[in-house]
Structures are given as structure tokens and as C-alpha cells.
């Protein structure tokens, strides 16, 4: 059985990073031009795989499939449509590299950016009757306990949204 490969990603304030890998052939240090790392394969192979997706672009695509047809080019999702969708380490490395290179950058953790995004996410615990949700402005998990409401009423029940990002520091 081959020895385990250990990986470390280290970065500095300038935005540059290195990868330190310990493999069965020894300790290796690499400049990391994409500032991304996953657990396998070894880092040079991860970077080499990016070449397979070099033509993926965050720009709105043109209809080259059927040029004479008026096709609604909906939901481009930052151009990620042609990226791999798996949860394997190689797919995660490719997606993380693309998103890091093309995501809008703000000046701090809560600055609003204008780009295509999902406004909220939610899920419902059907056993307990609790709706959990986040919003774009505040991705802290919020909850509404449906057991505390009169669900037989014909009145519309509304809730205000927590619009300010709530960041909880541990220290």
C-alpha cells in the first residue's frame, strides 16, 4: 500500500501561496498560481488537469449550437455549466480554482457586489415543522417554527428579514 500523501496550502497577505506536499518520494514545495488545493492527486497533476477546462468562461455564452434559433440563454451561473459536478477531489479543485479566479471581490466580508447570485437557500424539517433559511445579505441560518403559528388562519403571515450580516467571532 503506498504511503499517504500529505498536503498543506500556505498563503500570505499578498495573495500568493505555496503547496507543501509530503509523498513517498519526499517533501515537495510548489508555487501555487491558482491558490487552490484539494487532497488528491498530487499538486502538479491537479494543475495539469486545469488544461482540460481552459476554455470555460464566466462570460455570457453565444449560441453557436443552432445560430439561427433564438435560444433563451438562462442562468449562466458564473459560467460554471461546463465544469465537472462531482465531489471528488479533482472536480473540487477545478471548481474552486475557477470560482476563486472569477468571483467578484469586495473590500470586506459584507460589501455588496452586483452579479448573478442565488438570493436565498432554505430547507424544511418536516418532522419538526421548522423552516430554516439564509438570505444573500445574511447567510446566518435563520429559522421559523411553524408550530408557533396559526396555520389555519386565512391571514398572510410575514416576517422581516435580518438584512445585516451577523459575524460571530470566536475570540
Q: What is the DSSP string of 45-66?
A: HHHHHGGGGTT--SSPPP--SS
pLDDT band at 118; cut points 50, 70, 90: low
C-beta atoms surrounding 161 within 10 Å: 13
Q: What are phi and psi of 80, to 5 degrees?
A: -85, 0
What's residue 1's pLDDT? Answer: 43
Q: Is 81 left (phi over 0), alpha (psi -120 to 50) or beta?
A: alpha
Output the pTM of the full model.
Answer: 0.54
What's residue 76's pLDDT? Answer: 57
Structure-model confidence comparison of residues 160 and 141, the more confident one: 141
Range name among 26-35, 89-98, 122-131, 162-171 with the lowest pLDDT average: 162-171
Q: Average of pLDDT values for 75-97?
A: 75
- Distance from C-alpha of 156 to C-alpha of 132, rounded to nearest angstrom: 19
pLDDT at residue 5 tops 50: yes
The answer, yes or no, to whether the previous bond of 112 is cis (omega within 30 of 0) is no
Q: Element (H or E) spanning 97, and its range?
A: helix 89-102
**What are the percentages of helix, strand and coil residues in the chain, rounded to 5?**
20, 20, 60
What's residue 4's pLDDT? Answer: 59
β-bridge mates for residue 130, sequence order: 125, 145
Range name among 27-31, 32-36, 99-103, 131-135 with the lowest pLDDT average: 99-103
| Residues 6 or more apart in contact with residue 138 via CB below 8 angstroms | 161, 162, 163, 164, 165, 166
CA-to-CA separations, 11 to 16, 18, 97, in angstroms, rounded: 6, 6, 15
C-beta atoms surrounding 98 within 10 Å: 22
Q: Average of pLDDT values for 59-82?
A: 73
What's residue 162's pLDDT? Answer: 76
Q: What is the mean pLDDT of the chain?
A: 80
Q: Average of pLDDT values for 106-131?
A: 69
Q: What is the pLDDT of residues 18-47, one digit of tens each?
A: 999 988 899 999 999 998 888 788 999 999
Amino acid at each position: 500500500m503506498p504511503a499517504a500523501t500529505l498536503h498543506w496550502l500556505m498563503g500570505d497577505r499578498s495573495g500568493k501561496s505555496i503547496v507543501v506536499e509530503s509523498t513517498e518520494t519526499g517533501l515537495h514545495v510548489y508555487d501555487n498560481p491558482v491558490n487552490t488545493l484539494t487532497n488528491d492527486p498530487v499538486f502538479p497533476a491537479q494543475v495539469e488537469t486545469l488544461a482540460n477546462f481552459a476554455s470555460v468562461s464566466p462570460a455570457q455564452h453565444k449560441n453557436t449550437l443552432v445560430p439561427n434559433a433564438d435560444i433563451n440563454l438562462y442562468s449562466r451561473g458564473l459560467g460554471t455549466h461546463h465544469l465537472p459536478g462531482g465531489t471528488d477531489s479533482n472536480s473540487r479543485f477545478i471548481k474552486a480554482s475557477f470560482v476563486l479566479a472569477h468571483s467578484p471581490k469586495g473590500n470586506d466580508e459584507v460589501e455588496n457586489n452586483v452579479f448573478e447570485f442565488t438570493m436565498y437557500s432554505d430547507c424544511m424539517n418536516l418532522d419538526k415543522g421548522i423552516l430554516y433559511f439564509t438570505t444573500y445579505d445574511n447567510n446566518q441560518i435563520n429559522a421559523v417554527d411553524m408550530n408557533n403559528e396559526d396555520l389555519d388562519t386565512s391571514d398572510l403571515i410575514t416576517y422581516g428579514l435580518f438584512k445585516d450580516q451577523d459575524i460571530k467571532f470566536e475570540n
